[in-house]
Amino acid sequence: MTIPVTFWSYFAELAGCSETVVTVSEPTTVDGLLAALYQAHPALAELRRSTLIAVGVEYQDGGYVLKPGDHVSLFPPVQGG
């Protein structure tokens, strides 16, 4: 299963790209995807405690089980206003 991942705000600079695709086996949780992602983008791993995770347009935690068609977004704390 391939999961597209988008990095927002300065996470894109840390990752060196704004989007990537991660191939994971089924079933895989968000935590499983992050483990694979952090190997490819170690700079993001350092910020894991403050990282916000969304699947589609909803916030999810690491235990969320990914489904085909899911789109994951990773970003730092929000700063609107």
Partner 1 sequence: MKRYLSITRDPLDEAGLVADRTLSSGMGAAVYFSGVVRGQEGADAIVALDYSCFVPMAEHQFQRLFDRLAQRGSVESVRLVHRIGRVPVGESSLWIEVVSAHRAEAFAACQWVIDEMKQVVPIWKKPVTAADACLPSDSNPAS
Diameter of the chain by CA atoms? 40
- Site for partner 1 (CB under 8 A): which residue of 10, 27, 47, 67? 10
Token pair of 15 as six digits: 């990752």
**How far apart, in Å, are the Cα atoms of 34 and each of 41, 56, 80?**
10, 16, 26
Closest CA to 65 of 28, 25, 18: 28
- Residue 6 binds partner 1 (CB under 8 A): yes
Q: Which is nearer to partner 1, 9 or 27 (CB)?
A: 9
Q: Which is nearer to partner 1, 5 or 37 (CB)?
A: 5
Q: Footprint of partner 1 on this chain (CB under 8 A)?
A: 6, 8-10, 12, 18-19, 52, 54, 56-59, 73, 75-76, 78-81
